[in-house]
Amino acid sequence: MTELLQLRGISKRFGPVVACDAVDLTVREGEVHGLLGENGAGKSTLMNVLLGLTQRDAGTIIHRGKTVHVGGPRNAIGLGFGMVHQQLSLVEPLTVWENVILGDRGRVDRAKACADVEAVAARYGLPVDPLSRVDRLSAGERQRVELIKCLRRDPSVLVLDEPTSLLTEAESAELFAVLRRVVRAERRAVILISHRLAEITAATDRVTVLRRGRVVHTGRTAETTPPELARWMVGREVAVEAEAAALGVLVAPAQAAATTTAAPVLRVRDLRVLVGGTPRLDGLSLDVAPGEILGLYGVEGNGQDVLGDVLAGLVTPDGGTVEVGGQPIDLTRPGALHLAGVGVVPEDRRTALVLDMTVAENLAMKAPMSAFPNRRRMRAAAGRLVEEYGIAVPSLDAPARALSGGNQQRLVLARELSAAPRVLVAAQPTQGLDVGAIGDVHRRFQRVADQGVGVLLISTALEEVLALASRVAVISSGRIAGILPAEEATGERLGLLVGGA
Amino acid sequence: MIARLSLRSAAVGAALALSAALVAATGGSPAAALRALYQGSLADPTAWTATLLYVAPLLLVAAGACVSARSGMFNIGQEGQVLIGALAGAWVALRLAVGGPVLVVCVLVCAALAGGAWAGLSALMYRWRGVDVVVSTLLMTFVAQQVVAFAVTTPWLLQESRVGDAAVSAQSNRLPAGALLGSFGEYPGLAVNCGLVLAVVAAVLVAVALDRTRWGFRLTMLGRNEIAARHAGVRVARLGGAALAVSGGLAGLAGAVLLTSPVGANRLQPGMSVGVGWDGLLVALVARNRPLLALPVALLFGALRAGGGFLAATGVPPYLVDVVKALLVLAFVVVGRARDAGER
Amino acid sequence: MLESVDTILSSGVRLTAPLAFAACGEYVAERAGTMNISVEAMMLSAAYGSVATASATGSATTGLLAGVLVGMVVGWVHGNLSHRLALNTFVVGLVLNALALGLTSYLITVSTLDSQRPSQASILLLLGIAPLTWWLVERSRWGLELRASGEDPRSAAVTGIRVDARRRQALLWCGALAGLGGAYLAVGEVGSFNQNMTAGRGYLVIAAVIFGAWRLGRTLLGCAVFGLADALRLALPALGVTLNSQVLVAAPYLLALLAMLSFRTSSRAPRALRQG
C-alpha cells in the first residue's frame, strides 16, 4: 500500500502549552487509521493543522508524494481533506440540501443538490430526507447530514472526530462497514478520532496513539489489544509518579482514603438533565467525603460539563437532589449552593470572572457585601488574598483581563477558597496552564482537602486525577461507570471503563 | 493617558473640522457660526440660562441611560419615556387638588413612576417572551407619541378647555403656577431652575449608586458577564428589570422637568420632548456611561442647543448643531472602539 | 362612498410603496443578522439626494438613481462600522439617524431645490424588486450564505463563509432599496423635499419586517396594511368621521410588539438577531 498522506514533525504551541510536539503521522491509501488519545493529547490540533484551521509552527504535509501548502480551509478542501467535527457545523433552520451545499461555489441548483444528497446517502447507507429542515432531525440524523456534506466532496482523506458519539450501535457498525468498503475500493483514507477502544479495534487498520502532544505508539491495530491501547493512551503509572514528583506534587496519601468512611459532605443523587430532549446527565449519583479528593474522570462530552454547571447553580436539573452536609439544597434559588458552602472553579474561567472588572472586584464578587461596600476594605482584603495565593497582578485595580491564564485561575481559586467552602468543585482546573501554575493549583487542592474540605475534581486528564484523587469515579454517557480507589486505578482499568469496553 | 487624550481631541477636531467644512461649503462663515454659537450659549447670563435649561433634562435622561447600558439592558426608548413622564406629570398637575410644594413633588414622582413603568413594560416583555429590549423600547417610543397625541386631543383626558369661541389645539391646559418648578436662588440675570439642581443631584446619585453600592456592583457584573453574575448568585431578572425601570424613571423625570420649567410652555404638547430623549442617549454614549462625565457632555449638548437659536442671524441653519452633535458622537464611539481594541 | 374607497385605495398604494421598497432592503439586512435601525437614515438622506440630483439634472430617473446611491453610502458606512470595527449596531444606527436628520435639514435650508412633477411610474419597479429580493434570499448562493450568517454565524464561518462580508453586502442592498424607497417618496410621490420628510417611515419598515415574521410576503403585506391605515387616517376628515387617528398611527408598532410576543413569530427571528 502506498502512502497517501504524511505529516512530518508537526509542532504547535499555544502560549506556554505545547499541543503538538514534532508529531509524525503516516496514512496509507485504502486504510482506516485510528487516532487515539485523551482530551488535550493534541489530536484536534493536529487535525486542525491538516484542515488549515490552525497554522502550524513547524512541520511539513506531504500528500500523494508532494509537499503541499495548507494555508486555510479552502486550500485543504481543494486538496481533498475533509473533516466531520464533533461539534456539528450545521445551520439548523436551513434544510438538509442547503446545508450540504453551503460552502460550495456557483449557482444553487436544488434538484441537483437533492439528487447529490440522495446519491451519497444511498452509496454510504446514510438515509436522510434532503428537503427536511435540520432542526427537525434527530441527533443521529444530523450527524449523517454532516457526513454527507463532507463525503459529497469526495475527499481523499476524511477525518472523523468521534463520529459515533451520536449514533446508535447499529448505525455506527453500518457506517464503518461502508467506510471500509469505500476506502478500499476508491483508494482513499479515513482518519478516525475516537476514544472508544472497541471501535478503534473493530474499525481501523492501523492506529496512532498520542499523549501530551507526542506519538507514543503507531502500528497495525491487529497487533495490539485494547488493554495495551488503554495503557498507551493514559500513560503508565510509573510515568504518572515521575511527573507528579517533577511537579512537586505528592501522590494522594493513603490516609485520605481512610476518611471516606465519614458522612459525605456532598451527596448527589439521581441527577437528570435533559438538553434539547437528550439526557446529558442520566441518573448520576456520587458522594464526596470531607477531606477527600474525588476525581471524576472521563472523556469530554459525557456530561461532566453539565454536572459542573448544576453545581455552579447555572443549570437547574430536571430531576435528582443535591445535599451539602446532609442538608438538601433548593437548586432553583440563585446562589443557594454558594450559600451552602459549595465553591466552584468552573471549566471556563470566563464564566467565573468578569474580565472587564478589576482584580479586587473579582475577588469580592461572592463575598458578603454591605449595601455600601467600602472600597478600601475591599482592596485590603484583595491585597491579602493576592499575596496569600501568589497571584501576579500589575495592580489590584487592573482588569482581570490583564492577568495570565494561570493567575486568572489562581484568582478564581483564591475567591472560592476564601469563602471557606465545605465542598470545592473544580472542573479542568489546570487546562491551558503552564507547569508551574499546575503544580501550584494541585498543591492548593491537596491543602484544602487536608483541612477537611471535600473536593470534587472533574478532569479529562488522567495524570491529574491520579496525582490528586484518593478515589476515581469514571463518568460515561451521563452516569458513573465505576468508582475505583486510587491505588487500584491503573491506566488500563480506567481506559477500559472510559472506552466502554 | 496622553495618547487617549490626544486621540480624543483629534476625534473632536475632526468632527468640528467636518462641520466647519460643511458651513464653508454652503456659503456660510464657520467663524461667524462659532461666534453665534458662543453668543447664544455661554456669552452672558441670559445665554447661560438658555443653556442650563436644556442641560437639566439632557442630564436626567443621560444618567438613566448610564444605568440601563451598564446593566446590559440597553434602553433606547427614552424619547417615549420622556413623553409618558410629561403626560403623567401634566395629568397630576391639572387634576390633583393639592397645592404648593406637595403638588410639585407629586408631579415629579408620578412622572418618574410613569416613565419607569413604561420602560418596565419592555423588561416584562423581555422576561416573558424574550422580546429584545432595544427593539421594544424603540417601538414603544412611537406608541408613546400617539398616547400623548391621543391625550391632548381627547376632551375628557387632557385636551385644553374651550374658552369662548376660540379653537382648541392639540395641547393641555396651562399648568397651575403652583405645579411649576421654581428658581433655585437669585442670581443677577441668571435663572437657575430647580430642575437643574435635581438633574445634577440625580447624576451624582446615579454615579454613587453605580460605583459605590452593592446594587451598582451587581449591575455592572450583570452587564459585563451575565453568567458570572449568575455564578455569584445575582437575581438576573429582577436586577435587569430594575435597571430598565430606573432608566425609564429618570427619563420620565426629565419629561416633568421639561413640562414644569418656568421658561417652557408649561403645557403638555405632542412635540414637547424636542428630541431630548434621543439627545440624552447620545450624551450617555459620549460619556461612555459614566454619569459624572455626562455632566460636561450634557453642558456641551445644552450649549449647542441654546447656541443653535442664535445661528439664524449668521445665515447658517440652526440644524448645524444637530450635525455637529452627530459627528461628535460618531467620533467618540469610533475612538472608544479603537481604544478598546488597542487595550486587548 | 365608492369614490372615497377608491381614493383611499389608491393613496394607500402610494403610501405603501416607499415602505415596501425599504422593507425589501431591511428584510435582507435582518436575515443576514443585522437589526438595522439606520433604515430611517437611508430613506431620509436618499430622499434629499434624489431631489437635489433631480433638481440639478432635471431628470427624475437620475434622481431615483442618486437616491439609491446615497442609501448605499449610508449602508456602506453602517456596514463598516458594525461589521468591520464591530461597533454596536444600534449605536451606529442611532448616530446615523441623527446625522441624516441634521444634515438633510441643514442642506434643505441652505439650498433651493426645484420642485419636480411627481411621477409614480417607478412604483412599477416594485413588481420586479420584490420577486428579485425573494429569489436572491431564498434561491441564490448569496442568499443561502446570507441566511446561514443570520442564523448561525459560527457554523457559517466554519463552513468557509465570510460572515461579516455577507452582512456588509446585505446592508448595501438594504441601503440601495431603502434609498429607492426614500427617493420614490421624494421624487415620485411629493416632487420636493421637506425637512424630516420620511417622518419615521424607517421605523415603520422595521415594524413591518417584525410583523412579517422575517418572511418577505408577510412583510410586504404588513407594509400594505400600514399604508392603508395611513391612507384611511388621511381620508377620515373628508369622510366626516371624527375618530381619533392615534390608534391608526400607533397600530403598526403595536402589531409588531404583539407579533414579537407570539412565540410563532419570535421563533422565526434569525438567531443572530436575538443577541442584539
pLDDT tens digits for range C11-56: 999 999 999 999 999 999 999 999 999 999 999 999 999 999 999 9
Residues of chain B scoring pLDDT < 70: 1-4, 263, 339-344
Give the whole-angstrom CA distance, residue C186 versus residue C66: 12
Give the whole-angstrom CA distance, residue A26 versus residue A9: 11
Give the whole-angstrom CA distance, residue C177 versus residue C129: 9
- Please name the CATH architecture into which domain C2-270 falls: Orthogonal Bundle (1.10)
In a domain? residue B319: no
For chain A, give the percent of residues with pLDDT over 70.
91
pLDDT band at A255 (very low <50, low <70, confident <90, very high): very low
Under 8 Å between Cβ of A334 and B233 = yes
Q: What is the pLDDT of residue A235?
A: 66
Sheet holding A479-485, edge to edge: A342-345, A423-427, A454-459, A293-297, A471-476, A479-485
The distance from CA A480 to its chain's CA centroid, rounded to whole angstroms, is 17
Sheet holding A278-288, edge to edge: A278-288, A266-275, A319-324, A327-328
Q: Under 8 Å CB-to-CB from B294, ≥6 apart: which residues?
A: B59, B62, B63, B66, B203, B283, B284, B287
Give the whole-angstrom CA distance, residue A469 versus residue A256: 9
Task: Kindly state whether B129 is in contact with chain C, defined as any CB-CB distance less than 8 angstroms.
Answer: yes
In a domain? residue B224: yes
> Is the model's pLDDT at C207 over the cut of 90?
yes
Which residues of C are less than 8 Å from B142 in CB distance?
A: 200, 203, 249-250, 253
Q: Which residue of C has its CA nearest to B15?
A: C99
Out of A89, A91, A106, name the one closest to residue C141 (CB).
Answer: A106
Looking at residue A242, what DSSP letter applies?
A: H
Least confident of A17-21, A379-383, B60-64: A17-21
Question: DSSP letters of A315-384?
Answer: S--SEEEEEETTEE--TTSTTHHHHTTEEEE-SSGGGTS-TTSBHHHHHHTTS---SS--HHHHHHHHHH
Q: What is the pLDDT of residue A253?
A: 42
Q: Find which of B205, B227, B231 to mutate to test the A interface (most A CBs within 10 Å of its CB).
A: B231
Q: Which of these, B71, B13, B53, lies nearest to B248 by C-alpha position?
A: B71
Task: Kindly state whether A104 is in contact with chain C, defined as any CB-CB distance less than 8 angstroms.
Answer: yes
Cell readout for B338 is: 479603537
Which residues of B are less than 8 Å from A361 in CB distance?
A: 217
The range of the structural domain enclosing residue B121 comes to: 55-161+169-294
Task: Kindly state whether A398 is in contact with chain B, defined as any CB-CB distance less than 8 angstroms.
Answer: no
Q: Under 8 Å CB-to-CB from B63, ≥6 apart: which residues?
A: B199, B202, B203, B206, B250, B284, B291, B294
Out of A73, A89, A98, name the one closest to residue C144 (CB).
Answer: A98
pLDDT band at A240 (very low <50, low <70, confident <90, very high): very low
pLDDT band at A335 (very low <50, low <70, confident <90, very high): confident
Tell me the residue type at A150: C
In a domain? residue B269: yes
Under 8 Å between Cβ of A337 and A306 = no
| C140-169 residues labelled b (16+ CB within 10 A) or e (exposed) | ebbbbbbbbbbbbbebbbbbbbebbebbbb
Cell readout for A498 is: 472510559
pLDDT tens digits for range A179-210: 888 888 888 899 998 877 778 888 899 999 99
Task: Kindly state whether A355 is in contact with chain B, defined as any CB-CB distance less than 8 angstroms.
Answer: yes
Give the whole-angstrom CA distance, residue C225 versus residue A435: 67
pLDDT band at C275 (very low <50, low <70, confident <90, very high): low
Instruction: Using the structure block, give the residue that is written with the C-alpha cell 451552602.
Output: A340
In a domain? residue B138: yes
Give the whole-angstrom CA distance, residue B332 versus residue B9: 10
Q: A11 phi and psi, to 5 degrees?
A: -125, 145
Looking at residue B314, what DSSP letter applies?
A: G
Under 8 Å between Cβ of C1 and C56 = no
Task: Kindly state whether A309 is in contact with chain C, defined as any CB-CB distance less than 8 angstroms.
Answer: no
Q: Find which of B68, B124, B133, B143 to mutate to test the C interface (most C CBs within 10 Å of its CB).
A: B143
- Determine, for residues C144 and A94 on separate chains, whether the beta-carbon distance falls below 8 Å: yes
Residue B341 C-alpha, separation from nearest chain C C-alpha, in angstroms: 9
Instruction: Using the structure block, give the residue that is written with the C-alpha cell 436644556.
Output: B54
- Determine, for residues C101 and B139 on separate chains, whether the beta-carbon distance falls below 8 Å: no
- The pairing of strands A214-220 and A206-211 is antiparallel
Chain C residues touching chain A at CB-CB below 8 Å:
139-141, 144-145, 147-148, 151-152, 154-156, 158-161, 271
Q: What is the pLDDT of residue A1?
A: 59
In a domain? residue B305: no
Cell readout for B274 is: 424636542
Instruction: Using the structure block, give the residue that is written with the C-alpha cell 468512611.
Output: A261
> Is the model's pLDDT at A259 over the cut of 50?
no
Looking at residue A95, what DSSP letter applies?
A: B
Give A3's strand partners.
A28
Q: Find which of C155, C166, C266, C271 to mutate to test the A interface (most A CBs within 10 Å of its CB).
A: C155
- Determine, for residues A90 and C160 on separate chains, whether the beta-carbon distance falls below 8 Å: no
- In total, how many domains does chain B have? 1
- Determine, for residues C147 and A94 on separate chains, whether the beta-carbon distance falls below 8 Å: yes
Q: What angle do CA A169, A170, A171 make, to 5 degrees?
A: 95
pLDDT tens digits for range C144-171: 999 999 999 999 988 888 999 999 999 9
Out of C139, C151, C158, name the one closest to residue A89 (CB).
Answer: C158
Counting as contact any 3 or more CB pairs under 8 A, the partners of C are A, B
Task: Kindly state whether B233 is in contact with chain C, defined as any CB-CB distance less than 8 angstroms.
Answer: no
Which residues of B are less than 8 Å from A356 in CB distance?
A: 224-225
pLDDT tens digits for range C114-146: 888 888 888 899 999 999 999 999 999 999 999
- The pairing of strands A266-275 and A319-324 is antiparallel
Give the whole-angstrom CA distance, residue B38 versus residue A31: 82
Q: Under 8 Å CB-to-CB from A61, ≥6 apart: which residues?
A: A5, A6, A7, A8, A10, A49, A50, A67, A68, A70
Which residues of A are less than 8 Å from C140 in CB distance?
A: 108
Distances (CA, A) of A329 to A417, B190, C24, C59: 20, 63, 53, 76
Out of C145, C155, C161, name the one closest to residue A90 (CB).
Answer: C155
Question: pTM for the full model?
Answer: 0.89
pLDDT band at A168 (very low <50, low <70, confident <90, very high): low
Q: Count CB neighbours of B184 within 10 A.
A: 14
- Determine, for residues C141 and A108 on separate chains, whether the beta-carbon distance falls below 8 Å: yes
Give the whole-angstrom CA distance, residue B146 versus residue B159: 14
Which residues of C are less than 8 Å from A73 in CB distance?
A: 160
Under 8 Å between Cβ of A475 and A298 = yes
